[in-house]
A = this chain, B = another copy of it.
């Protein structure tokens, strides 16, 4: 009977996306474990480094994340001394997100593990396939896609 043979993930793109996310984050987390960072945290540290000293709002937009959600997620990283929020001098509403020395060091440490995870992923999934998949996913994450979806 079809009902039992087909999963929601076979028909619902969102559930397929979340299910794959759970699996992959699990796999990356396992590899990153020795660093004490989860892949989500490593991702944040990496993006904070890449973004220079972006404001919370800017970083939230880049990450396609709710501003307050980002604030919450940063809490453990701030508590552990990897990240700090520096008030902007000109606009006193703004706080800039920066890596501490310890944070930079931690990111660099974990980078080797991430590279290992990424290598394993590409070995299993294919290097070109991986790149194509990221492109597809980044399209979905784009604000232009959200606009199209909402107006459609």
Instruction: Report which A residues bind B (CB closer than 8 A).
Output: 3-4, 6-28, 30, 39-40, 43, 46-47, 49-52, 62-65, 114, 117-121, 123-125, 129-130, 133-134, 136-141, 145-146, 148-150, 152
Report the 5 A-B pairs with minimum CB-CB distance, sorted nearest first: A20-B137, A16-B137, A20-B140, A15-B43, A124-B148
CB <8 Å contact, A25 and B18: yes
Cα–Cα, bound, A114→B121 (Å)? 32
When all copies of this chain in the complex are counted, the total is 2
B9, B64, B121, B139: the one within 8 Å of A137 (CB)? B9
CB <8 Å contact, B4 and A18: no
B23, B64, B120, B125: the one within 8 Å of A64 (CB)? B23
Known: A9-B138, A16-B137, A21-B21. A27 touches B121 (CB 8 A): no
